[in-house]
Amino acid sequence: MNRLVWLLASLALAIAPHLAHLPVWVGPLCVGLGIWRVAVERGITPWPRKALVVALTLGCTAGILFEYRTLLGRDAGVTLLVTMIALKLMEMRTPRDTLVTVFLAYFLVSAGFLYSQSIPMALYLLGVVWLTTTTMIGYHDPNGGLAARLRLKLAGTLLLQAVPLMLVLFVLFPRIPPIWALPEDAHAGLTGLSDSMRPGEISQLIQSSEVAFRVQFDRAPPPASARYWRGPVLWDYDGQTWSARTPAAGTAPPVQPRGEPVRYLLTLEPHNQRWLFALDLPAAAPADSRIQADMQMLAHAPVRQRMRYRLTSYPDSRLDDPLDAATRQRALALPARANPRTRALAERWRAEEADGTRIVERALRLFREQSFFYTLNPPRLGAHAMDDFLFGSRRGFCEHYASAFVTLMRAAGLPARVVTGYQGGAPNPLGDYWIVRQSDAHAWSEVWLDGRGWVRVDPTAAVSPDRVEQGIAAALPAAELPLALSRLDLGWLQAARMRWDLVNNRWNQWVLGYGQEGQRSLLAGLHPWLARWEGMITALASGIALLLAGLAAWSLRHGLRRDRDPALAAYHRFCTRLARRGLARAAHEGPQDYAARVLRARPDLAPAVMAITRDYIDLRYGRTPGQLARLRRAVRDFRP
């Protein structure tokens, strides 16, 4: 019974983190079956019939199929595993069945890491491993000789002794690329920019304080007004959504080195998309990626693992290759008949102004001088979204301003495009690196001006200069700030947050980011031979052999040679003290005879000697457990 409770507790704790992403009926099912099993164990109900268990199993499988349309993949697989473990409780009769269930608890823990590998989750799941190991020990202690506390202690000892071996395996076990293709849902739930921009999408994203990427600058970082991290470039507008239906034609023009280069190392969090982020304008793409004609950087495969790359950017460089006709046409296209008032306004500007620079200035003046507001909660816009925004609500977030500006420019005959990415970032003073979060997501525009090429224009800066100079938290009204960005500037809280990010960063880089690349570079740094297969295998085998031999020697010395009974040890201290006074205990003397002889020689010691002898005899030979603490205290205070 006691063992069953431990098993159920381990299973419950292993299942708990999964409940959030399992179908709602799974939790109650598990609890119900758990209670049923306890009732069976107590003899309240008989074992369920085989037919009932089979029916339940089929029902669960049908439920999973209904929910996911498949039994494969991460989510469906975990659901199947959880329900099958719960059902296994109903027919778990032999010790072997039980052990298989315990093993499945370990398996569930490993499945938990597919959803989160954060430090708190890792600690929690390792706790579950500890508990499960304790449960396993309980099933191999048929006489119940080990109290729960001792079982926990033994499981802890086993796990602690396993840690050095685990580290050797972790560092040296050769990492290889995935063996078969992953199911599609393997990387679901990652946040980040998408390949299109609809009003309200970026304002959703900035609610998240998740880290998008971290940057280490080699030298001084560029000023805030230059920290535009370029992401997807959007060309095509259908009146509501900006997107890039086809990649930009042509190849990237070589970036002319101009001004001071900025060199940096960027660690990108996985976002399950192909684009990489770079400070405007990157000189060359990192390995396994390329730069498109619109200077968007694309990896060959979606970024599903944390990725590090080193880049050099020239913030002062320009994109001034001449536009070809097709690109110009694409950069001028607008949905026919949409937004007539916006078009009329732009055409009036075109008639009045001589060159593009003045048109851009008029547009920015419009945003600056009319009562436009920068807000996270803009009103909904109608069919003519830009007309509604420019002449009606005048309240919007960066995507509204970028969208309206590009529409105006195109209507005025200037090629323009929307660029999304991140703007800003905050330094971590403890770690000498910068953090760019999802809340730094931003959208801006680029306009083609004759003689200058593509020029970045950020209309949001015209409305809210603080957004660019001081970041999102300074630009929004306090009431609108999402919790993650809350401006409560508690010094210690900020410091704690930075410290936590530093720890997370190290965790990401050294633990979670330790893959094929990391392994090769770390081992090659130690010795080139180690980075080769035979080197890794040899080092792995000898490392394990050495550690096991060391552990064997230690456990022999510690467990088999030394006397570890604390009562005996205390009593020996007592005898040693008396021996120094010339009253050594003879080999043939039992504790009582010895005490009697001591008392004849030193009647003054009677109370202490009698108390120590009595407690010692109780502890070593008595049926009732004596008081070890009292014996130890008495020996400590014993001064003959």
Partner 1 sequence: MTSLVQGLVAAVLKRPWRATAFVRQLLRPVPDAAPVTLTQRRIYVLPTRSGLTFAFLLMLMLLGSINYGNSMGFVLTFLLASLALVSILHTWRNLARLTVRAGHSEPVFAGQHARIEVCLDNALGLARYAIGLRAAGVAGDVVDVPPHAGACPGVAVPAHTRGRMAVPSFTLATTFPLGLFRAWTHLDLAMHCLVYPQPSADTRPLPASPDDQGTGSQRGEGQEDFAGLRTWRAGESLRQVAWKAVAREQGMLAKQFAGEAQQAVWLDWHGLAGLDSEARLSRLTRWVLDADAAGVRYGLRLPACTLPPGTGEVQRRRCLEALAMFEP
Active site residues: 398, 442, 458
Q: How far is the CB of 112 from partner 1 (least distance, A)?
A: 9
Q: Is 178 a binder of partner 1 (CB under 8 A)? A: yes
**Could you tell me which stretch among 4-12, 395-403, 462-470, 551-559 binds partner 1 (CB under 8 A)?**
551-559
- Interaction pattern, residues 101-140, with partner 1; x per rule: CB under 8 A: --x--xx-xx--xx--x----x--xx--x---x--xx-xx
Please answer whether residues 99 and 112 qualify as being in contact, where contact means their C-beta atoms are separated by less than 8 angstroms. no
Q: Which of 16, 81, 84, 99 binds partner 1 (CB under 8 A)?
A: 99
Please answer whether residues 297 and 289 qualify as being in contact, where contact means their C-beta atoms are separated by less than 8 angstroms. yes
Q: State which residue, 305 or 393, has the beta carbon closest to partner 1.
A: 305
Q: Is 369 exposed, middle or buried (0-12, 13-18, 19+ CB in 10 A)?
A: exposed
DSSP characters over 170-219: HHHSPP---SSPPPGGGGTT-----SEE-TTHHHHHTT---EEEEEEESS
Q: How far is CA 156 from CA 119, 149, 163, 304, 610, in A?
A: 20, 11, 11, 34, 38
Q: How far is the CB of 616 from partner 1 (least distance, A)?
A: 13
Other Cβ atoms less than 10 A from the Cβ of 603: the count is: 9
Q: Is 163 a binder of partner 1 (CB under 8 A)? A: yes
Q: State which residue, 267 or 403, has the beta carbon closest to partner 1.
A: 267
- As given in the structure block, the two tokens for residue 163 are 């840690």
**Could you tell me which stretch among 22-30, 79-87, 284-292, 562-570 binds partner 1 (CB under 8 A)?**
562-570
Q: How far is the CB of 191 from partner 1 (least distance, A)?
A: 19
Q: Which of 146, 224, 484, 524 binds partner 1 (CB under 8 A)?
A: 146
- As given in the structure block, the two tokens for residue 602 are 């030193």
Distance CA 463, CA 404 (A): 13
Q: How far is the CB of 14 from partner 1 (least distance, A)?
A: 12
**Which residue has tokens 């190290």?**
506
- Interaction pattern, residues 301-330, with partner 1; x per rule: CB under 8 A: ---xx-------------------------
Amino acid (1-letter code) at residue 206: I
Q: State which residue, 10 or 317, has the beta carbon closest to partner 1.
A: 10
Closest CA to 267 of 305, 232, 240: 305
Q: How far is the CB of 397 from partner 1 (least distance, A)?
A: 35
Number of C-alpha atoms within 13 angstroms, CB side, residue 620? 19
Q: Which residues pair with 284 in a beta bridge?
A: none
Q: How far is the CB of 590 from partner 1 (least distance, A)?
A: 14
**Which residue has tokens 């509604």?**
388
Residue numbers 457-516 binding partner 1 by CB under 8 A: 511-515
Footprint of partner 1 on this chain (CB under 8 A)?
A: 96, 99-100, 103, 106-107, 109-110, 113-114, 117, 122, 125-126, 129, 133, 136-137, 139-143, 145-146, 154, 158-159, 161-166, 169-170, 173, 175-176, 178-180, 182, 186, 304-305, 511-515, 544, 548, 551-552, 555-556, 559-565, 568
